[in-house]
Amino acid sequence: MEYYTGVTQKKTMEISELLREAKAGDTVRVNGAVHTIRNMGTVAFVILRKREGLLQAVYEEGTAQFPLKNLKEAAAIEAEGVLEKNEKAPHGIEIRIRSVRILSEPADERMPLAISKWKLNTSLEAKLNYRSISLRNVRERAKFRIQEGLTRAFRDFLYGQGFTEIHTPKIGAKGAEGGANIFKLAYFHRPAVLAQSPQFYKQMMVGVFDRVFETAPVFRAEKHNTKRHLNEYTSLDLEMGYIDGFEEIMAMESGYLQYAMGLLQREYAKEVEILGIELPKADRIPAVRFDEIKKLAAEKYNHKMRNPFDLEPEEETLIGRFAKEEWGSDFVFVTHYPSKKRPFYAMDDPDDPRYTLSFDLLYKGMEITTGGQRIHDYKALKEKIEARGMTEEGMEQYLNTFKHGMPPHGGLGIGLERLTMKLVGEDNVRETTLFPRDLSRLEP
Amino acid sequence: MEYYTGVTQKKTMEISELLREAKAGDTVRVNGAVHTIRNMGTVAFVILRKREGLLQAVYEEGTAQFPLKNLKEAAAIEAEGVLEKNEKAPHGIEIRIRSVRILSEPADERMPLAISKWKLNTSLEAKLNYRSISLRNVRERAKFRIQEGLTRAFRDFLYGQGFTEIHTPKIGAKGAEGGANIFKLAYFHRPAVLAQSPQFYKQMMVGVFDRVFETAPVFRAEKHNTKRHLNEYTSLDLEMGYIDGFEEIMAMESGYLQYAMGLLQREYAKEVEILGIELPKADRIPAVRFDEIKKLAAEKYNHKMRNPFDLEPEEETLIGRFAKEEWGSDFVFVTHYPSKKRPFYAMDDPDDPRYTLSFDLLYKGMEITTGGQRIHDYKALKEKIEARGMTEEGMEQYLNTFKHGMPPHGGLGIGLERLTMKLVGEDNVRETTLFPRDLSRLEP
């Protein structure tokens, strides 16, 4: 029997530890994957890939007590050597290798992709087929560090605003949004579906915690094959009670975006630099009515509106351009979406029930958020369901919640992969999804 | 057009704001759900349920400028009144109501459960059937605040240890653990399954980020109908590379548990008190071999061992008791599980390949974690697959990852609902699951 008392200090050092704690001339130990070897004859540069970045190790005959051929690209090694300053090396340091311990070797040294190139020059298809290899490229990897920052910021910001994190079920008896876009499965011989969103659950939990959020997968059986659609994605969801209006929800999202950009600047500066991201300003996000901005954009760009009650992707692009040119903002809230385009639980605008107290947030011309105020009155909700010719079947518990009192409330859902895509400047949402699921892709 | 510039300051105050910023005699505004009304004749106590706890509002004829009958239990209200100290009231304060604004009213005042009682005295079945109502009980609600703390601690601790958060797909072509316990679904006319665990993906991502974690749902089509099994639960998963041995993984989990108990003490003290939780010590967690502890427990408690290669729930209970009595610990790592009881990717102990370099963590006699070192050598992995008579079909990308080099690594998965259950002193995992999914329950 022995005792575990907490994290053990490793003898190897990470890059930040080398920079903070070691000085030139110190003997240090590091581990990493051999990213690439550049053999210059008398000397070889062995670039190690570590989680914080690349680290240059220098192999010199005489200093190193082993033959260079012992080192293979894609091997995992532990090296001991002397730290030296070198302005030309990543982070301004390098390790003159003395000895090495091979931790593991690849069975096949021929990599399917040239991951050590700065920019991985290959097709999206190849990147996705070899996902666990393509992400070893430092730039590819950085996108998902940025994605972590966006998720982390969402939670940290909301904890500070009195929200409680919830975990709602992904298997259920009925979808929240209804419609045909639902994955069906057999649940012990009963029909079941995969959750399209945590909508019903987060609303039900507003009556318990006032403010709730969830960061979890959602499933959409949509047959879209576009650059912006996925059949499984991560939704950053929040729902908040006791709101004075749906404006409070947009204010909360503005606060989140400000917090997120601040966190990325502070904690993810390395990745922001690697990807050359210009962090957008979120300190003043314009909001404009759906019907107004449609007209404004149509006039300015001479675009023919086809449907007054819907936004086509092309129109979103124009609205994004309009917001940038006229208001200097990458973000724009489009408010008061038509009632017929919103689910039954959306609250209609009492001033004009053809529209709802709802919004989308566009970022560089693409919808990344849908949100709005919900109906909180039991009778009003029942009437809306009836007016739409819907059945209450499977919604009994949801409706029951309202019967026993619910505060005025609303919320939103942010598509994490889309937000990441726009932030890092990609144009296909698969680029910022670890393992995308679409009409044709179910693996890896 | 208008601008959103961040979170708007509300005119209503939360309990912590009242305690921090308001003084006796101040006129304040608060909102909340009417939890209960105790009418004493000349005076009535209107208890408001707010996210931070209960708040006592006092209705006195003369002071209040409206009739008491305007207030209904389960209504959402906003009240204005004068703050006074009152040692007998929750948090030592109360609000003498002057005016009130009704935000929403219940359609039916007769609540299905007596949620305002301190302890909700009803069956688990009723609690789950009326989940959105039963959780309005302050004690019931507190369990899920504790659950938030455990999840939050997991992430915060791991960010600090250089881990990257990942989001892996829940729909896939093949399950990681194999076997029959997989939910199947039709994915655009192709067969697909729901992920039993993020195992393959987190391993693949160790080659990219060195250290990764995920907090997400997993799906098990197990036909167990017990107090400890769910068919969907939240798994706290981590996987770490460049380990010197599987001991490092246990050390990491010890570190997490210490961090979590610290966070609960600091940030969730209210809920810890409400539930009367005695936070367990995690500063010294004993670890003992599977074969040894089985013998020790069998001898001490005169228990007849039926299967030397498996742990029955009854044995786990005895081992938990042993750890408590002999080593004074609620936690105990049981190490070196038999190879035949672990999946193919588990690394066998080179000293005795009948056992693996793996562990379970028991908490008060129940398994809450399974972890261990994984095979990182491509050939060894292929051989193990062959030796087990398994097919490589559907695992090509997983295996490819190893072909191109992987560091020694291992990881673990923690069942969040079980950890919460044991911590708050419940004996059925459904008590600490917001919306449990089991053999018979698919709703709400």
Q: Which of A5, A7, A154, A240 to mutate to test the interface with B (most CBs of B within 10 A)?
A: A7
Q: What are the respective helix, strand and coil percentages of chain B, to the nearest 5?
A: 35, 30, 40
Strands of the A409-415 sheet, one edge to the other: A164-165, A211-219, A232-241, A409-415, A366-374, A358-363, A331-335, A285-289, B2-4
Min distance A274 CA to chain B CA atoms (Å): 16
- B100: which strand partners? B79
How far apart CA A330 and CA A317 sit, in angstroms, is 11
Phi, psi for A89 (deg, rounded to 5)? -85, 155
Residue A58, SS3 per DSSP? strand
Chain A CB contacts of B35 below 8 Å:
none
Under an 8 A CB cutoff, do B2 and A287 touch?
yes
Chain B CB contacts of A165 below 8 Å:
148, 151-152
B395-427 CB burial, b ≥16 within 10 A, e <16: bebbebbbbbbbbbbbbbbbbbbbbbbbbbebe
State which amino acid sits at residue A273.
E
Q: Which of A4, A10, A135, A319 to mutate to test the interface with B (most CBs of B within 10 A)?
A: A4
Alpha-carbon distances of B217 from A17, A170, A259, B185, B341, rounded to whole Å: 35, 8, 27, 17, 24
Residue B413, SS3 per DSSP? strand
Residues of chain A short of pLDDT 50, as ranges, are none
Among candidates A272, A258, A260, A326, which has minimal Cα distance to A297? A326
| CB A184, CB A315: distance < 8 Å | no
How far apart CA A74 and CA A53 sit, in angstroms, is 15
Under an 8 A CB cutoff, do B443 and A397 touch?
yes
Chain A CB contacts of B402 below 8 Å:
107
Under an 8 A CB cutoff, do B74 and A242 touch?
no
DSSP secondary-structure letter at A343? -
| CB A122, CB B194: distance < 8 Å | no
- What pLDDT score does A305 carry? 83
State which amino acid sits at residue B131.
R
B98-134 CB burial, b ≥16 within 10 A, e <16: eebeebbbbbeeebebebbeeebebeeeebbbbbbbb
Bigger pLDDT: A251 vs B176: A251
Supply the mean pLDDT for chain B. 96
Min distance A296 CA to chain B CA atoms (Å): 12
Enumerate the H helices of A268-355 as residue ranges: 269-274, 290-301, 313-327
By CB neighbour count within 10 A (0-12 exposed, 13-18 middle, 19+ buried), where does A387 fall? exposed
- Cβ-Cβ pairs closer than 8 A, A with B, add up to 353
Under an 8 A CB cutoff, do B104 and A408 touch?
yes
Under an 8 A CB cutoff, do B131 and A379 touch?
no
Under an 8 A CB cutoff, do A133 and B164 touch?
no
Among candidates A52, A2, A156, which has minimal Cα distance to B254? A2
Answer left, alpha or beta for residue B440, where phi above 0 means left and psi between -120 and 50 means alpha: alpha
With a CB cutoff of 8 Å and minimum separation 6, the contacts of B398 are: A444, B200, B203, B204
pLDDT tier for residue B178 given thresholds of 50, 70 and 90:
low
B156-193 CB burial, b ≥16 within 10 A, e <16: bbbeebebbbbbbbbbbbbbbebeeebbebebeeeebb
The CATH architecture assigned to B138-432 reads 2-Layer Sandwich (3.30)
Chain B CB contacts of A234 below 8 Å:
167
Alpha-carbon distances of A127 from A114, A115, A229, A426, rounded to whole Å: 11, 10, 18, 14
Nearest to A104 among B132, B253, B405 (CB): B405
How far apart CA A313 and CA B224 sit, in angstroms, is 48
Min distance B73 CA to chain A CA atoms (Å): 9
pLDDT over 80 (residue B117): yes
* Neighbour count for residue A153 (Cβ, 10 Å): 22
How far apart CA B246 and CA A106 sit, in angstroms, is 22
Nearest to B408 among A104, A112, A183 (CB): A104
CA B299 to chain centre: 34
H or E element, residue A203: helix A199-209
- B194: which strand partners? B171
Under an 8 A CB cutoff, do B141 and A208 touch?
yes
CA A190 to chain centre: 34
Residue A175, SS3 per DSSP? coil
Alpha-carbon distances of B136 from A81, A173, B14, B394, B430, rounded to whole Å: 61, 24, 17, 46, 17
How far apart CA A196 and CA A183 sit, in angstroms, is 9
Output the furthest CA–CA distance in chain B (Å, rounded). 85
- Convert the pLDDT of each residue in B82-106 to its tens digit: 999 999 999 999 999 999 999 999 9
| CB B378, CB B403: distance < 8 Å | yes
| CB A252, CB A238: distance < 8 Å | yes
Residue B368, SS3 per DSSP? strand
- Convert the pLDDT of each residue in B341-363 to its tens digit: 999 999 999 999 999 999 999 99
DSSP readout, B197-241? Answer: -SHHHHHHHHHHHSEEEEEEEEE------SSS--SEEEEEEEEEE
DSSP readout, A64-101? Answer: BSS-GGG--TT-EEEEEEEEEE-TTSGGGEEEEEEEEE
Q: Whole-prediction pTM value?
A: 0.97
Residues spanned by CATH 2.40.50.140 within chain A? 15-104
Min distance A105 CA to chain B CA atoms (Å): 6
Chain A CB contacts of B208 below 8 Å:
132, 135-136, 141
Token pair of B413 as six digits: 């998965």
| CB B397, CB A444: distance < 8 Å | yes
Under an 8 A CB cutoff, do B172 and A442 touch?
yes
By CB neighbour count within 10 A (0-12 exposed, 13-18 middle, 19+ buried), where does B276 fall? exposed
Q: Which of A1, A193, A259, A440 to mutate to test the interface with B (most CBs of B within 10 A)?
A: A1
Under an 8 A CB cutoff, do A405 and B104 touch?
yes
Residues in chain A: 444
Rounded to the nearest 10°, the torsion over CA B106, B111, B115, B120 is: -160
DSSP secondary-structure letter at A297? H
How far apart CA B332 and CA B319 sit, in angstroms, is 8
Chain A residue with minimum CA distance to B75: A405
| CB A144, CB B164: distance < 8 Å | yes
Under an 8 A CB cutoff, do A1 and B327 touch?
yes
CA B250 to chain centre: 19
Under an 8 A CB cutoff, do B145 and A162 touch?
no
DSSP readout, B47-100? Answer: EEEETTEEEEEEEEBTTBSS-GGG--TT-EEEEEEEEEE-TTSGGGEEEEEEEE
How far apart CA A233 and CA B187 sit, in angstroms, is 15
Token pair of B306 as six digits: 């039926």
The CATH architecture assigned to B15-104 reads Beta Barrel (2.40)
| CB B235, CB B414: distance < 8 Å | yes
Angle at A266 between CA A260 and CA A267, to 5 degrees: 85
pLDDT over 70 (residue B176): no
Residue the block writes with tokens 């939050």: B152
Residue the block writes with tokens 């298997």: A171
Nearest to A148 among B31, B164, B255 (CB): B164
- Predicted complex: ipTM over 0.95: yes
State which amino acid sits at residue A161.
Q
- B439: which strand partners? none
**Long-range contacts, A325-331 (Cβ 8 Å, 24+):** A327/A286, A327/B1, A329/A281, A329/A284, A329/A285, A329/A286, A330/A280, A330/A281, A330/A363, A330/A364, A331/A257, A331/A280, A331/A282, A331/A285, A331/A286, A331/A361, A331/A362, A331/A363
How far apart CA A378 and CA A394 sit, in angstroms, is 16
Chain B residue with minimum CA distance to A149: B165
- What pLDDT score does B47 carry? 98
Under an 8 A CB cutoff, do B135 and A221 touch?
no
Alpha-carbon distances of B433 from A185, B29, B365, B421, B429, rounded to whole Å: 22, 34, 20, 9, 7
Under an 8 A CB cutoff, do B333 and A4 touch?
yes
- What pLDDT score does A178 carry? 66
Chain B CB contacts of A406 below 8 Å:
76, 104
Q: Which of B2, B4, B29, B211 to mutate to test the interface with A (most CBs of A within 10 A)?
A: B4
Residue the block writes with tokens 């940290």: A156
Nearest to B442 among A172, A216, A292 (CB): A172
Residues spanned by CATH 3.30.930.10 within chain B? 138-432
Chain B residue with minimum CA distance to A77: B407
Under an 8 A CB cutoff, do A3 and B287 touch?
yes
